[in-house]
Amino acid sequence: MSREIRLGSLNGLRPTVNFANKIDAEPGQQWGPRTIGDCQLFYVFAGRAVLEMGGLKYPLRAGDCAFYGADSPHRIAADKHEPPTFSSLHFAWDEPSPVPVPPYDRLKNVLPTDLRIEPVVYAVDVDGYGEVAMPVVSHVPQLEPLFLHIVKEFRVEEPGHAWTLRALLMQLLAALIRQRMNERYLSANHQKIIPALEAVRRRPEEDWTSERMAELCGYHPTYFAALFGECMGCGPKAFVVAERLRKAKRLLMEGLQVEAVSQAVGYGSVHYFCRSFKQATGLTPTEFRRRSLEL
């Protein structure tokens, strides 16, 4: 039975780096079987290792990043012939303070049989895209400089390092989540709704009904609506509204008047546009425009 932690909106999370280091493993060196009290990213710079968790074994090579969270029994074994150079990054998803909390006293040895226990799945809500689960393994060689930067900040502890670490970690997690979203976008079910997604994103101002979007994809409206909700975490109508407001923000930041923006994003009523905009942002379009031009 799978275990899941729903973290809520990505925009509301305050992740904190608890530990970061770059390590050269010894041939055959092992960590675990164990559990940890926070979450960990294990990034391989060179060499090979194997992550064992949930009854499965995940080979890790240069450019791979493994993720696992609290109370997920796991074991990592360095290759006997090509031991890895890796980064170990412990973090918490949401803490008021960015100051690291060392994870040492929250490591716990477990039995080898516990490695069959299903790991905890961590999922975040991404506005306009729905719920995204963190993958166990991602191939992200482009993130190597970011891991190195985090390790350097953690080691040196220059003034403001905790604040900087939080910013770097947010950038790192966003990159991992975006890659996961791109992979999910290419999944079988997402492929089925791509024509509607791309059409709405190109022309959000048009009159997009669920029926019209379903027709673009070649499905019955009832089936399409259920499939859309499963893939995106929201209904077709909510997606259209989100895309309209995304375009409205961009136009307001460019200095367009509220009435012109309302028409440009497909609202026949300025009043209705203003109400929808404030519900989503907490500001009226006029307030948003004025503040964006003042900053």
Q: What is the mean pLDDT of each run of 10 residues along the chain (295 residues)?
A: 83 95 94 95 96 94 94 95 95 96 91 94 86 90 95 93 96 93 71 89 92 94 92 88 91 90 93 92 90 69
Query: What tokens were used for 66?
Result: 């493994």
Is the C-alpha dihedral spanning 135, 137, 143, 146 positive or negative?
positive
Query: What tokens were used for 65?
Result: 């990043």
Q: How far is CA 222 from the centre of its chain?
A: 29
Helices (H), the chain: 144-156, 161-185, 188-202, 210-217, 221-232, 236-253, 258-264, 270-281, 285-294
Assigned superfamily of 188-294 = Homeodomain-like (1.10.10.60)
Confidence (pLDDT) at 127:
81
- Give pairs for 142-147: CB < 8 Å, separation 24+: 142/175, 143/43, 143/65, 143/172, 143/175, 143/176, 144/43, 144/45, 144/63, 146/171, 146/172, 146/175, 147/20, 147/22, 147/41, 147/43, 147/45, 147/87, 147/89, 147/172
pLDDT tens-place string over residues 136-155:
999 999 999 999 999 999 99
- How crowded is residue 58: how many other Cβ atoms within 10 Å of its Cβ? 16
Confidence (pLDDT) at 6:
92
CATH top-level class of 3-185: mainly beta
CA angle (120 as vertex; 82, 24 as ends), nearest 5: 20
Distance from C-alpha of 50 to C-alpha of 52, rounded to nearest angstrom: 6
Distance from C-alpha of 162 to C-alpha of 90, rounded to nearest angstrom: 14
Structural contact between residues 67 and 134, judged by C-beta atoms closer than 8 angstroms? yes
DSSP classification of residue 26: P
Comparing CA positions, the residue from 35, 222, 196 lying closest to residue 114 is 35
Confidence (pLDDT) at 294:
61
Structural contact between residues 147 and 66, judged by C-beta atoms closer than 8 angstroms? no
Pairing of strands 137-139, 130-133: unpaired
Edge to edge, the sheet with strand 39-46 lists: 16-24, 85-92, 39-46, 64-68, 137-139
List the chain domain ranges.
Answer: 3-185, 188-294
- The reply to whether omega before 221 is within 30° of 0 (cis) is no
DSSP classification of residue 159: T
> Helix or strand or coil: residue 43?
strand
Cα distances from 107 to residues 43, 155, 214, in angstroms, run 19, 21, 50
- How crowded is residue 89: how many other Cβ atoms within 10 Å of its Cβ? 25
Confidence (pLDDT) at 2:
59
Cα distances from 185 to residues 132, 194, 218, in angstroms, run 11, 8, 18
